[in-house]
Chains A and B, each alone.
Chain A
């Protein structure tokens, strides 16, 4: 019972945060002095188009509540005929506006870029977790040895590097051996789907390695620490005394216990991974959401910028909520 109450409280917190982000997003793109339409419609659009957008966004209406309309029409619903409610209504319908540059709906642009970003983050996460877990457990097992110190030192170095700088190093080093940018080879024709995926895979190596390096440092630390904690517990001694080989005891018990904080870290890491993705995709011309964000900054394409930011924020809030849920399911001792 108490658990359900906790989950509900957590859900409420996520919803409030979401509401705050939506309100902030609404405000941010209206703080610029002058006609708010400048933020939403390109000056190059035809007057008719601008008028259409103005209507769609309700920009001729008051910002928060529409008192005059309520007085005029005498019903309460007219009160909410404002810019803010238009904004929420549009969002609820998945209507994110029109890109200034590309003359297509923002939602369309975003959905085309979603796949590459998911592919990049997934590959990077899996590689980072794999190496981070293995190295973390070895470091804890050989605590205070050369291996341990080396693993920690590299963790610290990777952690100290700005993400974009890691990417530039990899790009410079691997130039000529691997494709340095893009998603597929331009103008290539493929005999099979497999060949196409192979090509994408080759393009993925560098960006995904950068992402993996970025996340690896944190994972080494988490796994090392939780393993170290587990190793000092009595039941490991018992397991050893029972005749379990030390390596067997380590992997069985340590891995199980390290997986708990790791699950949370992965989910909670999403915000950081997305920040890294913006830089990595920029460097490797990877056609994902991050590169879209970079391009829309350079082109002052505000509707796209706004749309991508909303999507990123919503996914991170959702991931945080899921992480809390998972954590409380995996470890009933934890109060949320």
Chain B
């Protein structure tokens, strides 16, 4: 059963059959297109300094500026388009670190087992316990606000969840017959992990990666909103930071506040929908026609509250 659902063709076949998964994927594709085509579809270059008159400051939407202008007269629509690049960049790079670290540690812990497993899982739990956002804040505040630092900090602090999920899957795969047979005919440990175990774990990794990306995007936005974004870049979070601090709320400049926040929610919603669909395919046992299934709830809980999922599963 698991062997079948993990083969590539049937996975994508099933994915196309999931309405929420397809909706989520289309939502994401749209953002990816905007990010890719930003230089061509944005009416202005937001990184260019503009000579603005007082009439341009927080000007409402008009013919030249579909989404109005910001506090220094820049075109909001263009900033929003360019901002998608930062969100996606951080989302993909940070989650890449998360996945590499989480997979390696999860595979080793699950496959080797014993004392090493206990030690690695204790470290994992220890990191999960420390409140993530405050920790990111102090590290970035001290280490500096460059985009590289932000990506590193997010990646280095979010792998424990992935490690736990991967480890759980490895434990269930490890005792299957084909692994036992490979062992019996003398395949090396490395070979067993790479050829026989990793492919079985891939769908789980993919499902958790979608959540990792959304978590990374929200983290970058939160950091930027709190004034710790890369000062040289325009991201959705830093737009909201400036909008908030420069009187967009009291000035009623909804055209400056709404677009970046809306797109943030849009991207994370899209990722969550895709993740739900993938979870359903990966775990046919939990298949429902609901937005949520047990796995997603567990993973949500684990995101929100490290350790709960373990409690829920134990019951």
Contact = CB atoms under 8 A, between A and B. Distances in A.
A275 B134 contact: yes
A175 interface: yes
A6 B169 CA distance: 26
Interface centre among B122, B214, B312 (most CB of A within 10 A): B312
A21 interface: yes
A180 B254 CA distance: 16
Interface centre among A21, A153, A221, A283 (most CB of B within 10 A): A221
A214 B227 CA distance: 21
A265 B301 contact: yes
Nearest to A17: B126
Contact of B225 (A17, A164, A268, A300): A164
Interface string B195-216: 0000000000000000000100
Interface in B245-268: 249-250, 252, 254, 257, 261, 264-265, 268
Contact of A309 (B135, B227, B254, B304): B135
Give the contact-size bracket for chain A.
35 or more
Contacts, number: 184
B187 interface: no
Interface in A133-147: 144
Contacts of A78: none
Interface in A89-141: none
Nearest to B268: A160
Contact of B315 (A159, A274, A331): A331
B189 interface: no
A58 interface: no
A217 to B, nearest CB: 8
B133 A278 contact: yes
A91 to B, nearest CB: 16
Contacts of B269: 156-157, 160
Given A156-B292, A297-B228, A13 B125 contact: yes
Given A156-B292, A222-B297, A32 B221 contact: no
Nearest to B220: A162
B314 A334 contact: yes
**At the interface, is chain B mostly helix, strand, loop or mixed?**
helix
Interface string A293-320: 1100110101001101100110011001
Interface in B121-175: 122, 125-126, 129-135, 137-139, 141-143
Contact of A159 (B126, B139, B222, B300): B300
Contacts of A144: 289-290
A67 interface: no
A324 B311 CA distance: 9
A324 B126 CA distance: 14
Contact of B141 (A159, A222, A272, A297): A297
Contacts of B244: 168, 283
B134 A218 contact: no
Interface in A265-287: 265, 268-272, 274-275, 278-279, 282-283
A294 B227 contact: yes
Interface residues of B, number: 55
A29 B139 CA distance: 9
A297 B249 CA distance: 22
Contact of B130 (A21, A155, A164, A298): A21
Contacts of A316: 129-131
A313 B311 CA distance: 21
A271 B160 CA distance: 16
B304 A272 contact: yes
B297 A16 contact: no
Contacts of B272: 156, 159-160
A165 B315 contact: no
Contact of A261 (B138, B139, B292, B311): B311
Contacts of A279: 222, 225-226
A185 B133 CA distance: 30
A312 B131 CA distance: 7
B135 A261 contact: no
Interface centre among B139, B214, B257, B308 (most CB of A within 10 A): B308
Contact of A152 (B221, B228, B292): B292
Contacts of A312: 131, 134
A171 B249 contact: yes
A155 B142 CA distance: 35
A31 B143 contact: yes
Contacts of B133: 274-275, 278
Contacts of B117: none
A316 to B, nearest CB: 5
B308 A264 contact: yes
A152 B290 contact: yes
A149 interface: yes
B102 interface: no
B134 A268 contact: no
B312 A261 contact: yes
8 A-B pairs with least C-beta separation: A275-B133, A268-B305, A271-B131, A165-B261, A160-B269, A160-B268, A17-B126, A152-B291
15 contacts: A25-B138, A152-B291, A156-B291, A162-B218, A172-B252, A221-B300, A261-B311, A272-B131, A272-B305, A282-B226, A294-B227, A313-B130, A316-B130, A327-B311, A335-B314
Interface of A: 13, 16-17, 20-21, 25, 28-29, 31-32, 39, 144, 148-149, 152-153, 155-157, 159-165, 168-169, 171-172, 175, 180, 218, 221-222, 225, 261, 264-265, 268-272, 274-275, 278-279, 282-283, 293-294, 297-298, 300, 302, 305-306, 308-309, 312-313, 316-317, 320, 323-324, 327, 331, 333-335
